């Protein structure tokens, strides 16, 4: 199993829901949030990431589903 975002985890800063390009890096091709074992983020950062992605979806910056 590969860790895709482990290099990004060490420089993880406060994630902003308006930064959609960064948020898209943590979504799989189907638009689902990647699990922590794939992203390499800490538990607190993974929760913050999930909150930011959900907020961006609610604000229509990211799609809920990918077609």
Tens of pLDDT along 38-48? 988 889 889 99
Candidates 58, 6, 67, 61; CA nearest to 34 is 6
65 within 8 A of 31, measured Cβ to Cβ: yes
Examine the pLDDT at 61 and tell me if it is beyond 50.
yes
Q: Distance between CA 10 and CA 6 in Å, rounded? A: 7
The two three-digit tokens of residue 67, written as one number: 């077609």
- Nearest of 12, 66, 3, 62 to residue 36 by alpha carbon: 3
Give 53 or 40, the one with higher predicted confidence. 53
Q: Which CATH superfamily is domain 6-58 in?
A: Ribosomal protein S18 (4.10.640.10)
pLDDT tens digits, one per residue of 19-41: 999 899 999 999 999 999 998 88
Domain ranges of the chain: 6-58
Confidence of residue 1 (pLDDT cuts 50, 70, 90): very low
Average pLDDT, whole number, for the chain?
84
**Sequence-separated (6 or more) residues with CB below 8 Å from residue 3:** 37, 38, 39, 40
């Amino acid at each position: 199993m590969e860790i895709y975002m482990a290099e990004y985890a060490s420089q993880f800063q406060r994630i902003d829901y308006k930064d959609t390009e960064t948020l898209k890096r943590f979504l799989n091709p189907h638009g689902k949030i990647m699990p922590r074992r794939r992203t390499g983020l800490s538990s607190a950062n993974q929760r913050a990431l999930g909150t930011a992605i959900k907020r961006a979806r609610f604000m229509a910056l990211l799609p809920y589903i990918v077609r």
